[in-house]
Structure 1
């Protein structure tokens, strides 16, 4: 091979190598000029954007503020994170499997002037950690919600707000439902695990200490208290919202007192009020808490295997 031919061959190889590298980088980083099409196929779902009116309602259901970190699972074109940053001043992260959609999201965030507040990351929602979120948004299929359910319940901090478009989480009933332009939005608040046996100590000695056994399914709590050797009574209207636990109980002397406390691991601290009383209480759990959810159903177990 003469010098000219050798030089031409080297140039062609170099051009091909550069072209391949550029194509690989484009595939990895995505194309910001990509034009999303409603109904286009994704990893596990097709892309259908959530209407702006429902996006706003979902973020309001979650009581989003500038103190929040909003994570959108399957963020598509990024509109939820962009709206959270633009309208509620909330920081955010969008996790999206399609790199072209990630590139479009970044471009739209720049155009909206919120690119310093939100990040869009290419990734699999089941392989990406997002446990520092205070608000989680999603528009996924029911079987994906069921796969996420134990992760959200077991790994997210109590009080984390979850909002979803269209699809629920099986037998985990939402705390709130809204309908906007015939589209459904659902809110769940991740509950603390308050189940198990507790020893309650009240600062006001006249009230008396007692034990209580709590059963819990998701955010629904029921239970009984043992006031002394002779008296057992059910908790009246127990309510758990995040890590805030409230119930009433009729004391030995007949007064109905209200207990309001914060669940933190194996301890509850709070106040006791009613009938002129204003005191404090602490509760310590003996033994391990019980499982508060049913796990995943048969379909989601099959998907995980």
Structure 2
């Protein structure tokens, strides 16, 4: 992963500027028979810079990559993330606009002995169908992340998305206020290998709507993985608090009852912890 495709990183340095400043600190490994890319060379959107190997490993670990996964790396550069995923037994696909980098990546995968698990495709990342991926890795600057966000949000619940450094929020988003897609987990490496931060999102199930429970009617509003709403019973209406999704897992509180469960399309079921003990609960989407 390394064709970062941005949005300011701070008030003093843009993401593109940060990439150029750090480019001189990173030296790609040599591969015989292919022209080696130069760190900082012009790419389709911004200069080419690789993700440090230690951060690649961290990203794949956060995504819990296994042989059951199909990993798609958007902007795959010299192929290092795809190759690392294949070494974990996963099938892995690299999407890269530069045909020279695709050729280099293909050779590197062959040299690593993982060519049977890897594929590198020369195309624009916005044109590739992501629907079969279970893990998506990114090193794309904020503007491109934001362009991808709506597509990523519609993927199968439970799909893991891991980004080097850059989030999935826009200028006006405030995750603390519940209107941005905040990461589910963040890891910052110390010591820092030039790029330090790995961000993980788990695509949430879609639960907005009205659900029928044995005890009443559950009306839910959803903003990315955050959930709010009300539970209406015979005795009154209770606000939903602390509502959150992680893939198909859901949790929320209604008064002094804490609900945990799993979403399966138009049904939910789980356990509710009440003051008098645990009880099973289930709900069906009515509209």
Could you say which residue in structure 2 is the equivalent of 1:214? 220
Could you say which residue in structure 1 is the equivalent of 2:210? 197
Work out the CA distance in 2 between the residues paired with 1:132 and 1:94: 14
Could you say which residue in structure 1 is the equivalent of 2:248? 243
TM-score, length of structure 1 as denominator length: 0.74
Work out the CA distance in 2 between the residues paired with 1:120 and 1:233: 52
Could you say which residue in structure 2 is the equivalent of 1:80? 81
- Out of 177, 192, 208, which is 2:186 matched to? 177
Paired residues in the alignment total 242
Whether the 8 Å CA contact 1:45–1:140 is kept in 2: the answer is no
Q: Secondary structure at the match of 2:101?
A: helix
Name stretches of at least 5 consecutive residues in structure 1 with no aligned partner. Answer: 1-30, 202-208, 251-255, 288-305
Q: Superposition pairs for residues 39-58 of structure 1, below 5 Å?
A: 39-58=40-59
Could you say which residue in structure 1 is the equivalent of 2:94? 94
Work out the CA distance in 1 between the residues paired with 2:205 and 2:79: 30
Question: How much is the aligned-residue C-alpha RMSD, in angstroms?
Answer: 1.9
Q: What CA deviation, in whole Å up to 9, does each residue of 1:135-177 have, x standing for no partner?
A: 10010111110110000002x1111111111211113211111
Over 3 Å counting, the alpha-carbon distance change for 1:272 and 1:35 in structure 2 is same
Could you say which residue in structure 2 is the equivalent of 1:264? 264
Work out the CA distance in 2 between the residues paired with 1:263 and 1:32: 51
Work out the CA distance in 2 between the residues paired with 1:45 and 1:274: 54
Shift in Å, 1:270: 2.7
Could you say which residue in structure 2 is the equivalent of 1:205? none
Whether the 8 Å CA contact 1:161–1:187 is kept in 2: the answer is yes
Q: Superposition pairs for residues 286-305 of structure 1, below 5 Å?
A: 286-287=286-287
Shift in Å, 1:85: 1.5
Whether the 8 Å CA contact 1:138–1:163 is kept in 2: the answer is yes
Could you say which residue in structure 2 is the equivalent of 1:234? 239
Q: Superposition pairs for residues 105-144 of structure 1, below 5 Å?
A: 105-144=105-144
Work out the CA distance in 2 between the residues paired with 1:220 and 1:153: 13
Could you say which residue in structure 1 is the equivalent of 2:27? none
Whether the 8 Å CA contact 1:32–1:103 is kept in 2: the answer is no
Work out the CA distance in 2 between the residues paired with 1:114 and 1:94: 13
Could you say which residue in structure 1 is the equivalent of 2:178? none
Q: Superposition pairs for residues 7-26 of structure 1, below 5 Å?
A: none
Shift in Å, 1:94: 0.6
TM-score, length of structure 2 as denominator length: 0.79
Name stretches of at least 5 consecutive residues in structure 2 with no aligned partner. Answer: 1-31, 174-180
Shift in Å, 1:277: 4.7
Q: Which has the larger radius of gyration?
A: 1
Shift in Å, 1:283: 1.4
Work out the CA distance in 1 between the residues paired with 2:106 and 2:33: 8
Q: Superposition pairs for residues 144-155 of structure 1, below 5 Å?
A: 144-154=144-154
